[in-house]
Structure 1
Amino acid sequence: MQHKEEESREMGVPLDERITGALVGAAVGDALGGPVEGYSPEQIAERHGGRVHGVVGPWHGDAWRTARPLAPYHKGDGHVTDDTLMTHALVRVYATVRDHLDAYAVADHLVPDLMTNPRWIPELEAEAILLRRVFLAEKWLVARLHYGHVDPREAGVGNIVNCGAAMYVAPVGLVNAAHPAAAYAEALDVAGAHQSSYGREAAGVLAAAVAAACAPGATPDSVVAACLSLAKDGTRAAIERVCEEASRHTDFESALRPLREAVAPYDTVGPDYRSPSLGARRPSRLHSIEELPVALGMVVVAGGDFRHAVLGAVNYGRDCDSIATMAGAVTGALGSPVPEDWAKTVAEASRLDLWEPAVTLTGVAREVFERDVRRRRAHERAFAELAGGAPECSD
């Protein structure tokens, strides 16, 4: 085992460290972005006397319990949001199924978990079922699958089209590490229970990005290339345009406004994040969620560096907890170290073991890969027999 680990390190960052980096990195990005979500870069700078450079307190200070529109959620002080809680819930589904997932796994395992298992909810500072914390687009899962008995593969149709599925889909990319096409296909199936149109597409592409980031020798450019090879319609166009603009910057400060301008034609929410346009979040082949292209853009700006990418995502504002979650997952999977002080602060403040889900998912990923190898070899033998030739099984 030690010899294998040494060989793995010679090849680059090993699988377990990439999975840990992605999951812990996503949680840290989520916690840093939470307290400034919904605001513009200018508002964030005014509120904090400059750019945010780490964990900060609630936007309204001690008045967070009653201040609208955020009450009763304690956003800030290192608390993760529903992005992380849903990510960990999906890891638990993998731990149960121990194989690839589909929309039926969401109905059979994720939905009951949302409804029946009380857990510590950091923003509520209480134990509660996760259903109490998630946004309306995630409550849709319960309404459609548990109460409506809709075919899980079609349950996402009619929901608010947003980043709700993409924000927690990183585990799909990690189970399919270094195989972005497989991650894309699996995530589209999983997300079909939750989202449609460009919301579902974003989930597929984010999973592909995480899988591509796990490949030995991966770079921000190779991750973006993998995404562009798979993405469709407005999602592809938005990623291409934003990442093209991002390539002109090496510091997030200069990139904040240009990245927003680049994604604006594809974003349906409009300039005022808290007052969406009448055309917001409707299905369209011409549009994209904002979060995914901007997250990838920040990864490009940062050259794959975790701290730089996440801080860029946080200071971008708008839906910055989800943007930072995605940027943290991709840079963590690339092997960029997550600052230990941030991770420790977030884990303690949120009362969560941020590392246990990574250990669990690493074990599942190895099991699934071994099962995939057996399935592939069985197919190779069967096809070779059908084709009348000697079997040429993969090594």
Structure 2
Amino acid sequence: MTPRTEESAAPSLEERVTGALVGAAVGDALGGPVEGYSPAQILERHAGRVHGVVGPWHGDAWRTARPLAPYHKGDGHVTDDTLMTHALVRVYAQVRDHLDAYAVADHLVPDLMTTPRWIPELEAEALPLHRIFLAEKWLVTRLHYGHADPREAGVGNIVNCGAAMYVAPVGLVNAANPPAAYAEALDVAGAHQSSYGREAAGVLAAAVAAAATPGATPDSVVSACLALAKDGTREAIEKVCEAASRHTDFESALVPLREAVAPYDTVGPDYRSPSLGARRPSRLHAIEELPVALGMVVVAAGDYRHAVLGAVNYGRDCDSIATMAGAVTGALGSPVPETWAKQVSEASRLDLWEPAATLTAVTREIFERDVRRRRTHEAAFATLGGPGCSD
């Protein structure tokens, strides 16, 4: 199904938040088992393209097969992208206001370190810290053990999509306000990433906020991103989305989108063997995942299923690409297939809808608080002789 037309009822805030968060989790689960492989390898392994939930790449040997062991990727299991997204929602539920880098240090890091949770890929209850990737463990190293200034703690980390992959909640809290989402995400991501990794987090949050705007389209989302993005990130989005605009099916777009993003990607053609210049700070480069996710949204004309399957079959870091594409199309109002959502929820033993209900309530509270703050400022400014004052 495609996003609702202007003639039909526009999706509500609750529907957009639910679509984005459930959509991101489902995209994550679909992409997990083929992460790190090329479109050609995926085609050969599955005797065709992936069209839904599939099993582990190595079948029953997932427990020992390298380089994935001991993670059970596949069969509808979400990865660390979703674990981190849900953790950020819990932080919003605690703070019940806009977040900054200090909120990451004060709330997100303790959540990762101290509270055991069900980890689908481990099929066990464990601390989230034991599952997250090295770039996310950096949060604990720098903030808990290194006592770094949270606003600068991301400096020195490998520059990757680690912050962007779970920042969709920031876009939803700032629904219909991309500049505010961008600014808040940059602050939050400062504790985790620097350079174009931090920039990607800001732009992905802006994309989700733009998608949650009534009447939004893939083109309006991309325009909002280009209005805010800087340096290589902006150029990569522009080039990839320009290439995407010439395609209406993901199969024909797989190679052109990779070719368009390649000059900005530092990892190189072999995803599992990054170049020596990979993931270092630069104003000339961009993470691969964000531009490709937006490109797939354009190819799919905003359709959730088409965009996510395009992201999954693109390969490479496709769980994160599908997470981002799923968040944007879900926020646009394109329905997440119920069968996929049910499969992923049951397989992962996670309630995918509870975080959305929580974030919707918190978003309403934050908006009401923002209105009160704005009115207080307006009154003060009027007293100073600004607009609205009486002569």
| TM-score interval for Structure 1 and Structure 2 normalised by the shorter chain | over 0.9
* CA pair 349-382 structure 1, distance change in 2 beyond 3 A: same
Separation (CA, whole Å) in 1 of partners of 2:288 and 2:51: 22
Match of 1:138 in 2: 136
Gap change, CA 1:184 and 1:389, over 3 Å in 2: closer
Shift of 1:352: 0.0
Could you say what secondary structure the match of 2:118 adopts? strand
Match of 1:347 among 337, 345, 348: 345
User: Residue in 2 aligned with 1:82?
Assistant: 80
Asked whether the 8 Å contact 1:299–1:327 carries over to 2, the reply is yes
Query: Which residues of 2 match residues 1-395 of structure 1 at below 5 A?
Result: 12-387=10-385, 390-391=388-389
SS of 2:384's partner is helix
Write the deviation string for residues 295-351 of structure 1: whole angstroms up to 9, x where unpaired. 000000000000000000000000000000000000000000000000000000000
* Secondary structure of the corresponding residue to residue 49 of structure 1: coil
Deviation of residue 138 (structure 1)? 0.2
In structure 2, distance between residues paired with 1:283 and 1:295: 21
Amino acid in structure 2 at the alignment position of 1:347? S
Q: 1:387 Cα shift?
A: 1.7
1:93-137 CA-to-partner distances (Å, cap 9, x unmatched) read 000000000000000000000000000000000000000000000
CA RMSD after TM alignment? 1.2
Shift of 1:385: 1.0
Matched residue count: 385
1:41 alignment partner AA = P
| Contact map agreement 1:119 1:128 (CA 8 A) in 2 | yes
Deviation at 1:384, TM superposition (A): 1.1
Q: What is the DSSP-based 3-state SS (H/G/I as helix, E as strand, rest coil) of the residue aligned with 1:123?
A: helix
CA contact (8 A) 1:256 1:316 kept: yes
Q: Distance in 2 between matches of 1:25 and 1:375?
A: 32
In structure 2, what is the Cα distance between the partners aligned to 1:26 and 1:41?
A: 21
Q: Which amino acid aligns with 1:84?
A: T
- Residue-by-residue CA offset, 1:22-71 (whole Å, 9 max, x unaligned): 00000000000000000000000000000000000000000000000000
Counterpart Cα distance in 1 of 2:202 and 2:329: 18
Question: Which deviations, in whole Å up to 9, do the C-alpha atoms of 1:253-284 show, x marking residues without a partner?
Answer: 00000000000000000000000000000000
Task: Give the secondary-structure state (helix, strand or coil) at the position aligned to 2:122.
Answer: coil
Q: Which amino acid aligns with 2:39?
A: P
Residues 196-234 of structure 1: CA distance to partner in whole angstroms, max 9, x if unpaired? 000000000000000000000000000000000000000
Work out the percentage of aligned pairs sharing the same amino acid. 88
The answer on whether the counterparts of 1:30 and 1:322 sit within 8 Å (CA) in structure 2 is yes
Residue pair 1:380, 1:391 contacting (<8 A) in 2 also = no
TM score, norm. by length of structure 1: 0.96
TM-superposed CA distance for 1:169, in Å, is 0.1
Aligned-partner residue type, residue 281 of structure 1: R
Give the Cα–Cα distance (whole angstroms) in 1 for the partners of residues 52 and 180 of structure 2.
Answer: 35
Opposite residue 244 of structure 1, the aligned amino acid is E
- Matched residue SS, 1:127: strand
Contact 1:11–1:216 (CA under 8 A) maintained in structure 2: no
Corresponding residue for residue 3 of structure 1: none
Residue 9 of structure 1 and its aligned partner are, at CA, apart by: 10
- TM-score normalised by L of structure 2: 0.97
Contact kept? 1:26, 1:324, Cα under 8 Å: yes
Q: CA deviation at 1:390?
A: 3.5
3-state SS in 2 of match to 1:120: strand
SS at match of 2:121: coil
Answer whether contact 1:33 1:314 (CA < 8 A) is retained.
Answer: yes
Runs of 4+ in structure 1 displaced over 3 angstroms? Answer: 8-11, 388-392
Give the whole-Å Cα distance in 2 for the aligned partners of 1:142 and 1:311. Answer: 33
Can you give the 5+ residue segments of structure 1 that lack an aligned partner in the other structure? 1-7
Letter in 2 for 1:147: Y
